[in-house]
């Protein structure tokens, strides 16, 4: 809002971009937390509901390890502390990298919001409960994938898009120092 005239102006493009970024990360975080709360409240730990037999089940698993159940240690405070410290470091790097991507005008800036929302969702569980609720369980022709949650899905999707996007995006035009000088020798 303009203090002198009382007029309201729309947010600047960088502020709008950060708003969209925060909205995406926030929606991931909230949907992750709501679904975990729902599963923990409706299913006993270890319970499984068949959705599509031999393919997809909703389960209630508590994961003290990292993504896809790696490095499980149900009573290990050292593991818990290490995962919290590593996740806080990852969130810090995601925010730093997001700032750099935004300054460069890169679209993949938004993909980092998926990773951030997922990391914050699992970080919240680790800090508050010491473990994460996993509930999406897939198997295919006898091959079973470890159970995961919305946060894990967002992290994997964000990383996948970060890797894929540079491979399929048109190259950015390269500007030279001469591009900023007009015909009469003055800067544009």
Parent domain of 96: 14-165
Token pair belonging to 89: 């470091």
DSSP result, 43-62: S-TT-EEEEETTTEEEEEEE
* pLDDT, tens only, 60-111: 999 876 655 555 665 666 767 778 898 999 999 999 999 988 887 778 889 9
The single residue of 108, 125, 134, 137 carrying the catalytic annotation is 134
Token pair belonging to 183: 């015909």
Q: What is the pLDDT of residue 105?
A: 78
**183 domain-assigned:** no
Q: Is 152 a known active-site residue?
A: yes
Give the helix/strand (H/E) hosting 144: strand 143-144
Nearest to 48 by CA among 137, 142, 179: 137
**123 domain-assigned:** yes
* pLDDT, tens only, 6-52: 556 555 567 888 999 999 999 999 999 999 999 999 999 999 999 99
**182 domain-assigned:** no
Q: What is the pLDDT of residue 46?
A: 92
The single residue of 108, 125, 137, 152 carrying the catalytic annotation is 152
How many domains, the chain?
1
* pLDDT, tens only, 131-163: 899 999 999 888 988 899 999 999 999 999 999
**99 domain-assigned:** yes
């Amino acid at each position: 809002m303009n203090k002198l005239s009382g007029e309201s102006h729309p947010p600047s493009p960088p502020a709008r971009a950060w708003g969209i970024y925060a909205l995406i990360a926030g929606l991931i975080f909230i949907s992750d937390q709501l679904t975990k709360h729902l599963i923990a409240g409706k299913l006993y730990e270890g319970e499984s509901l068949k959705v599509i037999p031999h393919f997809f089940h909703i389960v209630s698993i508590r994961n003290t390890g990292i993504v896809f159940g790696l490095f499980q240690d149900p009573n290990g405070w050292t593991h818990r502390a290490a995962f919290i410290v590593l996740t806080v470091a990852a969130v810090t790097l995601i925010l730093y990298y997001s700032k750099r991507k935004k300054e460069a005008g890169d679209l993949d800036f938004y993909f980092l919001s998926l990773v951030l929302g997922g990391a914050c969702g699992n970080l919240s569980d680790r800090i508050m409960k010491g473990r994460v609720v996993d509930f999406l369980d897939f198997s295919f022709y006898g091959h079973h994938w470890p159970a995961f949650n919305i946060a894990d899905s967002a992290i994997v999707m964000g990383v996948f898009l970060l890797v894929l996007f540079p491979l399929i995006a048109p190259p950015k035009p390269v500007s030279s120092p001469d591009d900023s000088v007009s015909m009469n020798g003055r800067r544009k």
